[in-house]
Chain A
Amino acid sequence: MEKKERKGIVLFSEYKRGEAIKKALEKSREEILFELRESKLKGRGGAGFPTATKWNMVAAAKSDKKFIICNADEGEPGTFKDRALLLEYPELVFDGMVIAGYTIGASEGIVYLRGEYEYMLKSLNDYLEAMRKDNLLGKNIVGKNGFDFDITIRLGSGAYVCGEETALIESLEGNRGEARNRPPYPVNTGYMGKPTVVNNVETLAAVPHIVLKGGEWFKKYGTDKSTGSKLFSVSGDCERPGVYELPWGTTINELLEIVGAKSVKAVQVGGASGICIPKSQFNRSLAYEDAATGGSIMIFGENRNMLHVLKNFMKFFVEESCGQCTPCRIGNTKLSEGIEMIEKGEYTFAYINKLKELGQTMKVASKCGLGQSSPNAFISILENFKEEIFNGNGGRNGK
């Protein structure tokens, strides 16, 4: 696979395979947890849960078996930064998993790779094989007596909801990928009912750097509440789409400048599940405390039809809802139909308002994050672009 030479402040800074594993294995688990806590690293998969807390819960659990799962299901529309990490920086992801295994007391790591990324499977497996040869995986890793750890890769089969951690575990266990009620959380009863850490690819990729350079160093970047850097997957109307590593707290305006985006009307932050931000709010910053995102940034130029964009997002949710709970299964269909009514000019404002209320209900009544976040785009696009959508020929102003 081609390896692009990237430069970045944290993740894309220099790193040699195995370096952090060696350093970590000289430390105690407590010391590693301490650095992780110092770094204030939060999950990069979307929910932003503090990584040290999650690891600590599993480290403290008494169990004959524990697991570390790398969530590489990357299916949120507009997200492709895990692809870049897996193709270009597998050392960061896998070394992060080994360190997690050591810290929480797991001997098995599993990567859940989305089926669409099967083309990476061979190179990733070759990479793991090379790690085994160098004793970075296997028994008594780098001579550390009693620390055995290995990684297997499992493929998904084309279901977005399997990125949700409990659906992912269901899928690994050989079931339909239907989300479970939470609690209990995977840290208590995860894969095979055992304590399990599920982390995003990017979260794990930050770990080796934190182990080597310390939590203090990591915290120098970003904001108080959002420490370190973030990989942004930038697509849509701009000159230079791609993956960018930027400090948390970067404003949308700054990002647009960097990627060469001109005459932009809207930016969808956080993918189809995220929110649509209009021009008037481009001074907002990308951070957990403001415009939060798992990394998806989609840019819409002046001439884009926002109703068309919304329709595309809602079709996505209708198709990807697992159908287990009513608010999400029926709700997304209703919202989708509403958009078609607007498109045809056959709607009443009373009905549209009802649909917005339905959206609010879905946010609280749906069982998992898919149904809870799917109305975000509906609500924010109809609100922020009502002029265009309702006054502009029922949204039929062309693409």
Chain B
Amino acid sequence: MLVLEKNAMTEEIEQLVEKYGRSRSSLLPILQDIQRKHKHIPDFAQQEIARLLDIHPVEIYSVITFYSFLSTTPKGKYIVRLCQTIACDMQGKEAVAKAIERELGIKFGQTTKDNKFTLEYANCVGMCDQGPAMIVNENVYTKLTPEKAIQILSELK
């Protein structure tokens, strides 16, 4: 990271610490905000959060790796999470999955070269009555067909 970027990151984390409070219980909200904005939690951010909350950096790393929505490596601008659980599976998730893989040219678990899309599976997202369902960043899409899913992704800028 460049010095300027580092300074900006430090400032950002200081603001988050200010907002949520200087205590361990603020850790997840802080990590979630960094993840949302930067699509991962860079090493430097981990160190800074550790310093400002007075926690060992290893602890931060260990928390990040526990949660599937947090990551230490960069994800795409849009994280596509397709539900793989049984109700969606029975409603045609497999065909949707194949279509998305074909269209984006990547497999599940991968990110497109232009860093626009990361494709992942999710477990039941609470839309079983309207499956197949997927969540893109925080928005939920239901009753997917291969065509509808591709349409939704192609409209994302």
Interface, chain A (partner B; CB < 8 A): 74-80, 82-83, 114-119, 121, 154-155, 157-160, 171-178, 192, 233-237, 241-243, 272, 298, 300, 304, 309, 312-313, 315-316, 319-320, 322
Residues of chain A within 8 A of B32, CB atoms compared = 115, 155, 157
| B47 close to chain A: CB less than 8 A | no
With known contacts A78-B87, A158-B69, A298-B87, A116–B122 Cβ distance under 8 A: yes
B7 in the interface (beta carbon within 8 A): no
Chain A nearest Cβ from B18, distance in angstroms: 16
In contact, A174 and B138 (Cβ under 8 angstroms): no
B:60-78 near A, CB below 8 Å: 62-63, 66-70
Complex formed: what's the CA distance from A143 to B130 in Å?
44
- Give the residue name and chain of the A residue nearest to B24 (CB): A174
- Report whether B28 and A243 are in contact in the complex, using a CB–CB cutoff of 8 Å: no
Q: Which residue in chain A gives the minimum CB-CB distance to B138?
A: A118
Question: A155-B32, A320-B123 in contact; A173/B86 too (CB < 8 A)?
Answer: no
A174 touches B26 (CB 8 A): yes
| B contact residues around A241 at 8 Å (CB) | 128-130
> A157-B70, A174-B63 are known contacts. Are A235 and B125 too (CB-CB below 8 A)?
no
CA distance A99 to B139 in the complex (A): 32
Chain B residues with CB under 8 A of A118: 138
Known contacts A235-B87, A236-B87, A316-B85; A159/B126 CB under 8 A? no
Report the 4 A-B pairs with minimum CB-CB distance, sorted nearest first.
A174-B27, A157-B67, A235-B128, A241-B129
Which B residues are CB-close (under 8 A) to A174? Answer: 23-28, 55, 63
Q: Could you give, for residues 75-116 of chain B, a 1 whenever the CB lies within 8 Å of some chain A CB and a 0 otherwise? A: 000000100111101100000000000000000000000000
Given the complex, which residues of A lie within 8 Å of B131, measured CB to CB? 235
The listed residue (A77, A115, A171) touching B85 by CB distance below 8 A is A77
> CA–CA, A361 to B9, complex, Å?
49
- With A157-B69, A174-B25 already in contact, the answer to whether A119 and B86 are too (CB < 8 A) is no
Which A residue sits closest to B67, measured CB to CB? A157
**Given pairs A79-B128, A178-B66, A236-B87, 15 additional interface contacts (CB within 8 A):** A74-B126, A77-B128, A80-B126, A80-B127, A114-B126, A116-B126, A174-B23, A174-B24, A174-B25, A175-B63, A235-B128, A236-B128, A237-B90, A242-B129, A312-B84
Q: How far is the CB of A107 from chain B (nearest CB, A)?
A: 16
Chain B neighbourhood of A121, CB < 8 A: 138
Instruction: Give the chain B neighbours of A236 by CB distance below 8 A.
Output: 86-87, 90, 128
Residue contact A158 to B24, C-beta cutoff 8 Å:
no
- A179–B62 Cα distance when bound, in Å, is 15
In the bound complex, how far is the Cα of B24 from the Cα of A192, in angstroms?
Answer: 10
Q: Is the CB of A234 within 8 A of B129?
A: yes
> CA–CA, A79 to B86, complex, Å?
12
19 contacts between A and B (CB under 8 A): A75-B124, A77-B128, A82-B126, A83-B127, A116-B125, A119-B139, A121-B138, A154-B28, A155-B32, A157-B32, A159-B67, A159-B68, A174-B27, A175-B63, A235-B128, A235-B129, A237-B90, A241-B129, A272-B86
Complex contact A77–B87 (CB within 8 A) = yes
Q: Report whether B124 and A77 are in contact in the complex, using a CB–CB cutoff of 8 Å.
A: yes
Q: Are B25 and A173 in contact (CB under 8 A)?
A: yes
Please determine whether B129 and A233 come into contact, CB atoms closer than 8 angstroms.
yes
User: Which residue of B is nearest A79, CB measured?
Assistant: B126
Chain A residue contacts of B58, Cβ below 8 A: none
Known contacts A157-B67, A173-B24; A233 and B123 CB within 8 A of each other:
no
CB distance from B78 to the nearest CB of A (A): 14
The CA-CA distance from A243 to B127 in the complex, in Å, is 11
Contact yes or no, B68 A157, CB < 8 A: yes
Q: Does chain A have a CB within 8 A of B150?
A: no
- B17 in the interface, Cβ–Cβ < 8 Å? no
Residues of chain A within 8 A of B127, CB atoms compared: 80, 83
Q: Among A76, A80, A160, find the residue whose CB has the most chain B CB atoms closer than 10 A.
A: A80
B153 contacts chain A at the CB level, 8 A cutoff: no
A118-B138, A242-B129 are known contacts. Are A160 and B123 too (CB-CB below 8 A)?
A: yes
